Amino acid sequence: MKGFTLHGLTIRPAGENDRDALVTLAICTARTNYIPFLGRDAIERWIAGGGVTDHLDTHSGTCRVAERDGDIVGFCVTKGPLIELLMVAPAHQRRGIGRVLLADAEARLFAEHAVIRLESFADNSAANAFYMSQGWQPDGMAAGQDTGFRTIGFVKRRAAPGAMIPPEGM
- Helices 40-48, 51-58: crossing angle, 10 deg rounding: 60
Q: Which domain holds residue 8?
A: 4-157
CATH number of the domain to which 72 belongs = 3.40.630.30
The pLDDT value given to residue 2: 83
Q: List the chain pLDDT tens, one digit each, 170 residues.
A: 688 888 889 999 999 899 999 999 999 999 999 999 999 999 999 999 998 888 888 887 899 999 999 999 999 999 999 999 999 999 999 999 999 999 999 999 999 999 999 999 999 999 999 999 999 999 987 665 566 788 999 999 998 776 655 555 54
Residue 170 lies in a domain: no
Burial 20-59 (b: 16+ CB within 10 A, else e): ebbbebbbebbeebbeeebeeebbeebbeeebbbebbeee
Please, what sign has the CA dihedral across residues 123, 52, 102, 117?
negative
The pLDDT value given to residue 146: 60
The pLDDT value given to residue 122: 93
How far apart CA 47 and CA 132 sit, in angstroms, is 29
Residue 163 lies in a domain: no
**Domains held by the chain: number:** 1
Residue 166 lies in a domain: no
